[in-house]
Amino acid sequence: MSVNTKEFEIVVFGATSFVGKILCNYLCNEYREPNLRWAMAARSSAKLAELKAELGENAKAVPLVVADSADAESLAQLCDRTELVISTVGPYALYGELLIEACVRGGVDYCDLTGEPQWIRRMVDRYEALAQQSGARIVHSCGFDSIPSDLGVRHLQEAAQTQFGSYCDKVKMRVVKMKGGASGGTVASGLNVYREAAKDPALQAELRDSYSLCPQGHEFTLRQPSVGVEYDEDMKSWAGPFIMASINTRIVLRSNALWPNHYSKTFLYDEALLLGDSEKGHKAAKKLAFGMKWGMTAMAIAPIRAFAQRFFLPKPGEGPTSEQQLNGRFDLHFIGTTEAGDKLVTRVTGDRDPGYGSTAKMLAQAGISLRRDVDQQSVGGGFWTTATAFNQRFYERLQAHAGLTFDVLKTTPSSSAE
């Protein structure tokens, strides 16, 4: 549905980053979108040339573009040449704003994989009005955070509307299985949130607000649930806190606010990690909750944060091996309940490690789908979520080309509910 007016449809900015390399390999050697005009961009021409050689024969015709996240002029020139930018350059709070500004001013679409809610809030506040004027569609969090959660909830809600004639006002996501690792870039993004919050009381308050990404003037007031240690009767398992819940919940709540007439004005959502039905599962949930609580407290202290980053945590550019990416996977279940008591269980799965192998495929398909499947009349300029920007074609792309599945497992009308 895009109009081909520029040299490129898509530029992958940060092509030489850890995720950028995986994404470019996917576009070159795993998935070949017909007639896609795309380029690889980074600040180092030498690293771009090295990446091109590593990618092999299929990369020979892919153009290279040199641009720097700290150089506004180079970013403006980049945006002059492309219709959409996929950015993998994080932490976005440190390196992302100039590119957002360039895209918004140039009317250029944009996707990324950020999990930094404080940065998303700043970008929306500073640039949404301009994006609406220029026509730039900005879609953050197009990776494991938060496509499976955001589109998983939308998929459940659409199934509930079909089955019961109403949306669910209560939804919970439970991680049944997840296998993968963390990269230095992801760790750096998380640590930067702690670094910012440690010296900013207003940001600390913002990070405690589940509705922090909802549009200004929203009228949602219900306190959102937060899982510590609990026994989940629906899943027959002990559950503990899920590390991605902080960003995923905010994205899902923003989607509820942006959705026509909302899923529900009293919508409740939470996420948790399942750890088993036995006493061993109970102990694991308590251990996880304790570790996350005190780990976050420790990371707020600068010397401890610096020590961990230097000696224990992965460095930027480091991450799961190719074998670990291929052997990773995730299995998420969503349980929704309508106001009338109808219940629905759905499932989202992915066939590679969530943070990298799977995320790279999701992010690539997000960029392609935004340009080729979503017209400006249906989704105009502004800051969107994946659930509110994309149409059914994106689900089809994710299932056909990104290794995801979306299934309905069980429906229980209220008349037969226990």
**Cα–Cα distance list, 47 to 42, 51, 108, 139 (Å):** 8, 6, 26, 27
E runs forming strands in 105-242: 109-112, 137-139, 170-179, 230-232, 237-241
* Integer Cα distance of 180 and 257 in angstroms: 31
CA distance 324 to 319: 9
pTM of the model: 0.93
Smallest CA-to-CA distance from 335 within 409, 395, 262 is with 409
Token digits of residue 69: 């996240």
Please tell me which residue, 146 or 183, carries the higher pLDDT value.
146
More confident residue, 416 or 290: 290
CA-nearest of 361, 346, 370 to 404 is: 361
Number of alpha carbons in the 13 Å side-chain half-sphere of residue 24? 34
pLDDT of residue 184: 55
User: Please, how many CA atoms are within 13 Å of residue 159, restricted to the half-sphere of its CB?
Assistant: 25
**Which tokens in the block code for residue 309?**
């980053």
Residue 73 has pLDDT above 60, yes or no: yes
Selected residue with higher pLDDT from 310 and 414: 414
Residue owning tokens 């052997």: 327
107-140 confidence digits (pLDDT tens): 999 999 999 999 999 999 999 999 999 999 999 9
Q: Per-residue b/e over 123-156, b at no fewer than 16 CB within 10 Å?
A: bbeebbeebeebebbbbbbbbbbbbbbbbbbbbb
Using DSSP bridges, classify how beta strands 38-42 and 64-66 pair: parallel, antiparallel or unpaired. parallel
CATH classification code of 8-143+357-401: 3.40.50.720
Could you tell me whether strands 170-179 and 268-276 are parallel, antiparallel, or unpaired per DSSP bridges? parallel
Q: Token digits for 334?
A: 């969503």
pLDDT at 315 over 70: no
Strand ranges for 236-353 from DSSP E: 237-241, 268-276, 329-337, 343-350
Cis peptide before 2 (omega within 30 of 0): no
Instruction: Give 14-66 pLDDT, tens digit per residue.
Output: 999 999 999 999 999 999 888 999 999 999 999 999 999 999 999 999 999 99
The string of pLDDT tens digits covering residues 23-32 is 999 999 999 8
> What pLDDT is stored for residue 297 in this prediction?
67
Summarised one tens digit per residue, pLDDT across range 232-278 is 999 999 999 998 999 999 999 999 999 988 999 999 999 999 999 99
Q: Is residue 296's pLDDT more than 70?
A: no
pLDDT attached to residue 201: 84
Burial 359-398 (b: 16+ CB within 10 A, else e): bbbbbbbbbbbbbbbbeeeebebbbbbbbbbbeeebbebb
Distances (CA, A) of 352 to 21, 98, 206, 211: 16, 32, 33, 31
**Which residues are within 8 A (CB) of 323 and not within 5 positions of it... i.e. 6 or more apart?**
none
Q: Which residue has the higher pLDDT, 196 or 166?
A: 166
CA angle, corner 264, sides to 261 and 268, nearest 5?
145
328-336: average pLDDT: 96
Amino acid at 260: P
Residue 148: band (very low, low, confident or very high) from pLDDT cuts 50, 70, 90: very high
Pure H helices in 165-266: 184-198, 201-207, 245-258
Q: Pseudo-torsion of CA 56, 65, 34, 51, nearest 10°? A: 20
Percentage of residues of the chain with pLDDT beyond 90: 79
CB 331, CB 177: distance < 8 Å = yes
**CA 128 to CA 157: how far, in whole Å?**
27
Q: Is the pLDDT assigned to residue 183 strictly greater than 60?
A: no
Classify residue 327 as exposed, middle or buried by CB count within 10 Å of its CB (0-12, 13-18, 19+): middle
